Amino acid sequence: MRAATRPVRTPLRRLRPLLALLLLAAPGCGAPPAEVDLVGRVESASGMPMSGVLVHAGGELTTAATDGSFAIQGVRVPYTLTVASTAGDGWVHAFAGLTTATPVVVPLRNEMPLVQATISGDAWNGNPVPAGYRVSVCVEGLDFTVWGCDFADAGETSYILTVDWSGGFAANVRVHALYMAIDGSGRPTSYAGARALDASVTSGGTTTVDLGPLLTIGTSPLVPITIDAGAGSVLGAVVAVRVGDRLVQSVYRGDSVGGSFDVRLPPATMTYRYQVTAWAVFPSGPLVFAWAVADSEAGIDLVIPPPPNLLEPANGALDVTPATSFRTADTGAVARVFAWSPTGTTVGPDVMLTTAATTATLPDLGVVGLSYPDGGTYAWNVLGLEAPDVAAAVATRYDLLSLIGLGGPGQFADGAIVPSERRDLTLAP
């Protein structure tokens, strides 16, 4: 993804610390490798600590504490940080080429239990939503990330949305409503008002939050948006606005929206950022997601990149060993996640490797007490990432929910999730 005629830039200070994790060290010529004392943390996709997982770096193995923290001394940089769990068949996620002394990593597994609740109530102060209007209702977690959004359309008197989170039995939330007039394509033409109400939800519970009366909001800017997938076909797009620290709220969702169109957004007094996400399918690979964020007065040109091209090993490769080179063509992605998953009757761990390189070998599982099954069959693919701040969380459904404006914190930088095709392999006996 890149901006074209109207470039959008996000200050690097807004990127999550994972940006630093993906940069390879560049020590001075002839200088000995530097050593760092690691003080890091392992988080789930929702930002909650992942306690009890194994953490390995520099020859030392430790366990993440209750708050997800860990400490390892005297590690030479660049280094590989491996996070793992031996529960069930096990899983491993290695992060290669790290240089930071304060790594914060989000493995491609969410070990936190999922919690759900329902929020419902009047959508328009006890009256049906008027013809030509729509209400967007989303929930923001006040203590941690909570996901959930719904639209109430013309003629409906109420909304109902399912919210979920992974932070405990109960959650304090803020319900946000945007009242908008829409055209025949569902795009906002003006905003009648907004509403924000606090509530508490509990696992499996139902909470009533009635919306209204409206709070008047100011003049709305008309924002030009262009979406280009090149040789791919755009399947859909969402335009969302940031209305809180842990929420982007969708104001428009459309199908087959390639090309240029305009969307009227809430005034800048409500949000300092907005987000456009689009997804496309290419003949050579699976679904690709790309997004861009901008100041509310700016326009966006969103270019969706094609899937990466896998070079070796070939599909169906036999006798794969730790020395086998897995290679993909360079798509310009900042980082890549090489992923290997057992198939068929094979019992073994899921394995992931995040790296800035285009070539990888199977990570060493022995450092965390796991092993590859002799003669086992695996499928592998590569996930190209053009936004390093989401490099380790993209496999969870929550990132996609955030990206398409269904709640969650959204993104602070432009990027893309670009999966390759999948290939099969057989490990050496």
- Rounded CA-CA distance 296/161 in Å is 27
The whole-number pLDDT of residue 114 equals 79
What does the alpha-carbon distance between residue 246 and residue 362 come to, in Å, rounded to a whole number? 36
CA separation for the pair 364, 128 (Å, rounded): 60
Which of 376, 382, 302 minimizes the C-alpha distance to 8? 302
Burial class of 238 by CB neighbour count within 10 A (0 to 12, 13 to 18, 19+): buried
pTM above 0.85, yes or no: no
pLDDT of residue 3: 36
Tokens 């994790």 correspond to what residue?
21
Measured from the Cβ of residue 89, the count of other Cβ atoms closer than 10 Å reads 14
Sorted by sequence, the CB contacts under 8 Å of residue 9 that are 6+ apart come out as: none
Note the pLDDT of residue 24: 29
Three-state SS at 269: coil
Question: 402 to each of 27, 154, 226, 411, how far by Cα in Å?
Answer: 37, 25, 21, 8
Collapsing DSSP states into helix, strand and coil, what is residue 17? coil
Stated as kind and residue range, the H or E segment containing 417 is: strand 415-419
What is the pLDDT, as a whole number, of residue 33? 64
Place of tokens 């929910």: 401
Q: How many CB atoms lie within 10 A of CB 262?
A: 12
Please name every residue paired with 176 in a beta bridge, in sequence order, or none if there are none. 138, 196
**How far apart, in whole angstroms, are the C-alpha atoms of residue 16 and residue 33?**
26
Cα separation values, 15 from 12, 20, 106, 142, 177, Å = 5, 9, 14, 21, 28
Q: Cis bond leading into 373, ω under 30°?
A: no
Question: What's the CATH architecture for 12-105?
Answer: Sandwich (2.60)
pLDDT per residue as tens, the chain (429 positions): 333 333 332 222 223 333 333 322 233 344 556 999 999 999 887 677 889 999 999 999 999 999 999 999 999 999 999 999 999 899 999 999 999 999 998 887 765 677 899 999 999 988 999 999 999 999 999 988 899 999 999 999 999 999 998 877 899 999 999 999 999 999 999 888 888 999 999 999 999 999 877 777 777 888 899 999 999 999 999 999 988 778 999 999 988 887 899 999 887 666 668 899 999 999 877 899 999 998 877 789 999 999 889 999 999 999 999 999 999 998 777 788 999 999 999 999 999 999 989 999 999 999 999 999 999 999 999 988 886 544 444 445 667 778 888 888 887 788 888 899 999 999 999
What's the CA gap between 412 and 414, in Å, rounded?
7
Both tokens of 258, joined, read 């390639």
Read off the tokens for 342: 């057992």
What residues does each domain of the chain span? 12-105
Please answer whether residues 319 and 361 qualify as being in contact, where contact means their C-beta atoms are separated by less than 8 angstroms: no
Bin 270: left if φ > 0, else alpha if -120 < ψ < 50, else beta: alpha
353 neighbors 21 (Cβ within 8 angstroms): no
Quote the CA–CA distance of 270 and 217 in Å, as a whole number: 8
Would you state the pLDDT for residue 110?
60
Query: Which pLDDT value is given to residue 48?
Result: 78
Q: What is the pLDDT of residues 374-411, one digit of tens each?
A: 999 999 999 888 865 444 444 456 677 788 888 888 87
CB of 363 closer than 8 Å to CB of 323: no
Q: What is the pLDDT of residues 223-281, one digit of tens each?
A: 899 999 999 999 999 999 988 778 999 999 988 887 899 999 887 666 668 899 999 99
What pLDDT does 10 receive? 29
Predicted local confidence at residue 156, as pLDDT: 96
| SS3 assignment, position 261 | strand
- Omega of the bond prior to 188 within 30 degrees of 0, cis? no
The per-residue pLDDT for 13 is 27
Q: For residues 287-318, b (16+ Cβ closer than 10 Å) or e, as one string? A: ebbbbbbbebebbbbbbbbbbbebeebeeebe
How many angstroms separate the CA atoms of 330 and 359, rounded?
10
